[in-house]
């Protein structure tokens, strides 16, 4: 799915009253020096400062420093020139979407991308647009409406071994369109937004030819006509420390997020590196609550329809018959590591999941079904090296762990790790190199009672994404599969492919 990038929420323009809008910055240092001098700015006693802004009824934008909800942190009564305000806003919005100094709200795929805070934004999932659309987009977004269209086209082939390397390569593609409404800007409901995401898919790719338990292209979902992938309403409370989201949800955008390995559209193509395969990330009716009492900690809980069916709104499955619901709880700790070029930020998560779907219990002779299954998982993403404070170039690492009960799950354990480096080639500051490896392992009960030869599978993926144009990224990708299928029937497999991503 496309919705993988989240803008850091407290850096957003939002309503403080009908006549004033609030901007919350993370640090006094984010403000332009001339802006501090000209406005009579006084350093705030705490890292977080609040500033009140209002738009003049004519043409000029004034910024007044004061209090909007919490304690007063600075005072000023002088007007700030428009261009200084604009410069400060650019800095704020650029900082809000980066990890460890990235200068873009949505950088190159796999590059420096923020997965904090844990609330997905109704803002743009990608900051790039084809020529000629920026002015139209900006005008709409000023009024609270945003539209974004993305097309991904992939071509892959099994070039050696695998279950079937005799055929030619195969193509697959997807289209994602996002329409968002900032109800605050539209002056309908304060601190609320709505998102509509529709998607269409073409082609199943070569997933069936590899012999692997996991897909080598997580975006190759077959021929699916235009359908709703997300449709939700979100309401913020308590100065946006609490966010309630209800509707048709994609839990891949809510839990098990990762700054460097969370999008088959822009980062790793393999299902094993896109997300944790032991976490059931369903799409359907649901609700989630994200609670962030402090800048460094967040708790996300949610439920989702475990019987959702594509093309159906979900009411017939969510509230009838068995009424089965997934349940999730995830804690996130956000850390910052000081470095000379600038802070390196990271996120560390632990979560539990409840899965009610019936499945065969391999410890019983009749293989009768069991539901009420539980699992646990952990993940991290951390920026470890920055080239400079001027842009988002640098090295980020990630890792995941997963566990499911062995009686009812053939795959009982999972681990993955890797890195991405933005700007590793001199002169190619927006290109991204990524490497990751994953190890799904069958459960002990499955090996003892079903297939003694089953063990583990090792998956390696290497990609290099080239920013060809502002609206086009081309990614070369190669994957090596060791013991695909985990049972020893296939020794290995090599998959090579290319992906083109267009942003409009």
> Which of 401, 107, 385, 151 lies closest to 259 in space, CA to CA?
107
The token pair at 235 is 């309401």
In this prediction, residue 13 has a pLDDT band, given cuts at 50, 70 and 90, of very low
B/e letters for 170-189, b = 16+ CB within 10 Å, e = fewer, are: bebbbbbbbbbbbbbbeeee
Enclosing H/E stretch for 499 = strand 492-503
Cα dist. 336→116, 127, 264, 333, 384 in Å?
12, 25, 27, 10, 10
- What confidence tens digit (pLDDT) does each residue in 314-367 have? 666 767 767 688 999 999 999 999 888 888 999 999 999 999 888 877 777 666
Outline which parts of the chain fall under CATH 2.40.160.180: 99-503
Q: What is the predicted pLDDT for the residue at 184?
A: 93
Q: Which residue has the higher pLDDT, 75 or 390?
A: 390
Q: 485 or 177, which is more confident?
A: 177
Confidence of residue 467 (pLDDT cuts 50, 70, 90): very high
Instruction: Indicate whether 288 pLDDT > 80.
Output: yes
Q: Which among 83, 25, 85, 88 is positioned nearest to 51, based on CA atoms? A: 25
Tokens of 28: 């006094």
- Span of 300-304, 308-312, 380-384 with lowest mean pLDDT: 308-312
**For residue 117, what pLDDT is reported?**
58
* CA pair distance 250, 3, nearest whole angstrom: 9
Total-model pTM: 0.73
Mean pLDDT along residues 50-68: 29
Alpha-carbon gap, residue 341 to 497, rounded angstroms: 36
Query: Nearest-CA neighbor of 353 among 301, 308, 400?
Result: 301
Residues in the chain: 504
Alpha helices of 97-153 — where are they, by DSSP H?
134-142
Which runs of E-coded beta strand occur in 70-214? Answer: 145-161, 170-182, 192-202
Contact 209, 479 (CB under 8 A): no
Phi, psi of 90 (to 5 degrees): -60, -45
pLDDT score, position 126: 52
Q: Which two tokens stand for residue 151?
A: 């097309």
C-alpha R_g of the chain: 23
Q: What does the pLDDT read at residue 119? A: 57
* Average pLDDT of every residue of the chain: 75
Q: Give, in degrees to the nearest 5, the angle at Cα 450 between 444 and 454.
A: 60
pLDDT at 443: 84
Query: Domain 99-503 carries which CATH code?
Result: 2.40.160.180
User: Are the C-beta atoms of 111 and 327 separated by less than 8 Å?
Assistant: no
pLDDT for residue 366? 66
| 53 membership: H or E segment, kind and range | strand 49-55
DSSP count for the chain of H helices, then E strands: 6, 22
| C-beta neighbour count of 259 within 10 angstroms | 31
Burial (CB count within 10 angstroms: exposed 0-12, middle 13-18, buried 19+), residue 17:
exposed
């Amino acid at each position: 799915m496309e919705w993988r990038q989240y803008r850091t929420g407290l850096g957003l323009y939002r309503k403080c009253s009908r006549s004033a809008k609030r901007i919350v910055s993370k640090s006094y240092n984010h403000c332009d020096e001339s802006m501090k001098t000209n406005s009579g700015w006084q350093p705030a006693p705490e890292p977080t400062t609040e500033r009140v802004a209002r738009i003049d009824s004519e043409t000029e934008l004034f910024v007044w420093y004061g209090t909007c909800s919490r304690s007063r942190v600075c005072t000023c009564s002088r007007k700030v020139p428009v261009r200084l305000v604009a410069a400060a806003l650019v800095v704020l919005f650029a900082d809000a979407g980066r990890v460890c100094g990235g200068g873009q709200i949505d950088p190159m795929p796999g590059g420096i991308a923020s997965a904090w805070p844990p609330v997905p934004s109704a803002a743009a999932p990608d900051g790039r647009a084809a020529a000629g659309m920026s002015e139209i987009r900006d005008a709409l977004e000023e009024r609270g409406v945003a539209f974004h269209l993305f097309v991904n086209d992939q071509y892959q082939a099994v070039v050696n071994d695998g279950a079937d390397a005799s055929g030619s390569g195969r193509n697959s593609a997807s289209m994602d369109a996002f329409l968002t409404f900032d109800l605050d800007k539209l002056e309908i409901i304060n601190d609320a937004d709505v998102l509509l995401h529709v998607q269409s898919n073409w082609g199943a790719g070569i997933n069936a030819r590899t012999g692997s338990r996991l897909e080598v292209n997580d975006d190759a979902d077959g021929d699916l006509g235009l359908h709703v992938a997300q449709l939700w309403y979100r309401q913020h409370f308590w100065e946006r420390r609490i966010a309630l989201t209800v509707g048709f949800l994609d839990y891949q955008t809510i839990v098990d997020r990762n700054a460097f390995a969370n999008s088959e559209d822009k980062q790793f193509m393999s299902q094993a590196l896109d997300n944790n395969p032991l976490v059931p990330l369903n799409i359907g009716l649901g609700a989630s609550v994200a609670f962030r009492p402090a800048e460094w900690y967040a708790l996300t809980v949610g439920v989702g329809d475990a019987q959702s069916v594509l093309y159906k709104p979900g009411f017939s499955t969510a509230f009838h018959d068995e009424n089965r619901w997934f349940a999730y709880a995830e804690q996130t700790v956000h850390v910052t590591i000081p470095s000379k070029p600038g802070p390196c930020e990271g996120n560390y998560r632990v979560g539990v999941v409840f899965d009610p779907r019936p499945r065969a219990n391999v410890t019983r002779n009749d293989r009768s079904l069991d539901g009420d299954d539980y699992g646990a998982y952990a993940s991290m993403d951390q920026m470890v090296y920055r080239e400079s404070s001027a842009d988002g170039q640098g090295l980020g690492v990630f890792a995941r762990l997963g566990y499911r009960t062995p009686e009812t799950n053939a795959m009982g354990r999972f681990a993955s790790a890797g890195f991405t480096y933005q700007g590793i080639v001199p002169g190619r500051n927006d290109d991204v190199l990524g490497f990751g490896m994953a190890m799904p392992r069958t459960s002990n009960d499955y090996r003892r009672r079903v297939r003694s030869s089953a063990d583990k599978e090792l998956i390696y993926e290497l990609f290099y994404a080239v920013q060809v144009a502002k609206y086009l990224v081309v990614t070369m990708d190669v994957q090596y599969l060791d013991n695909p299928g985990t049972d020893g029937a296939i020794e290995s497999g090599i998959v090579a492919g290319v992906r083109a991503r267009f942003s409009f």
